Amino acid sequence: MKYYLVLMTVLFSSTAIVHGQTTIKQANSSSANPDNAPVFEPIPSVVVPGATFSSPPSDAILLFNGKNLDEWVSEDDQSPAKWTIANGVMTVNKASGDIATKRKFTSYQLHIEWKIPADITGSGQARGNSGIFLSGRYEIQVLDNYNNENKTYVNGMAGSIYRESIPLANPEKKPGEWNVYDIAYSDPEFNEDGTIKTLARVTIFFNGVLVQNNQPIEGSTSTDTRHVYVKHGPAPLKLQAHGDKSAPISFRNIWIRE
Ligand code: MG
């Protein structure tokens, strides 16, 4: 019940933003979580997934084919991406930082598979942390939360919109096994003056289980600051090299349909 109250508050807040043409910051002042702070309930139910992995359809753009990082650059300086490739898999190189696609996208369907190392260590947000940044700004969290054993704030679990929206369930596989996100993302629209016109929205299937359902995004998902929108156009997809000390995670089979 409490969750639905939170959800309704967020939806109401979003509507006010769209029709009132106010800034997110003003509109969020009455939000249930105005500062995008960590929250700790409700804890998503564990679900055992039954998903199989899918090959790209004919009109997909392959962003990672298992062989090279030709579609990617280091986000910092736009130099060629320096993450590691072995056995058809790319692995985060934490020292070299985040990577971003050379291509820019607006709204899309994204398929991306990721794996936490079997010997992962650490706790909370320092256990297999990475992330998929839609429009380079809105993070869908990647973290080890298998079987709800790694305690952290629930709006920072795998399948969350980071510090915004709690996943509806937890179908994560155990470290050493591959997970998949299938994401439908709608880009936000902005007014001429830079204020938000239409919120970004995202639907996420996590190992075939719905965890975000056409969920409004409240703004750029930074840590420890209230989320706000800053006007942007087509933007790269970004993958996170998180600075924690746990072993780096891996990605494979990344494709996108605009
Ligand atoms: Mg992250």
Report how far ligand 1's centroid is from the alpha carbon of 181 (Å).
Answer: 14
CA 202 to chain CA centroid, Å, is: 9
Report how far ligand 1's centroid is from the alpha carbon of 193 (Å).
Answer: 31
Q: How far apart are CA 13 and CA 51, in angstroms?
A: 34
CA 91 to chain CA centroid, Å, is: 17
pLDDT for the residue numbered 52 = 73
pLDDT for the residue numbered 31 = 62
- Please tell me the pTM assigned to this model: 0.86
CA 100 to chain CA centroid, Å, is: 14
Q: How many residues does the chain have?
A: 258
Element (DSSP H or E) covering residue 8: helix 2-20
- Per-residue model confidence as pLDDT tens digits over 91-112: 999 999 999 999 999 999 999 9
pLDDT for the residue numbered 51 = 59
Report how far ligand 1's centroid is from the alpha carbon of 145 (Å).
Answer: 12
Domain 59-257 has CATH 2.40.50.100: no
Report how far ligand 1's centroid is from the alpha carbon of 142 (Å).
Answer: 6
Given a cut of 70, the residues of the chain with pLDDT beneath it are 1-31, 51
Provide the residue ranges of all domains of the chain, joining segments of one domain with +: 59-257
Report how far ligand 1's centroid is from the alpha carbon of 133 (Å).
Answer: 9
In whole angstroms, how far apart are CA 219 and each of 22, 27, 149, 165, 227?
A: 13, 12, 29, 12, 5
Beta strands at 89-91 and 84-86: parallel, antiparallel or unpaired? antiparallel
pLDDT for the residue numbered 27 = 44
pLDDT for the residue numbered 201 = 98
Q: Are 246 and 129 in contact (CB under 8 A)?
A: yes
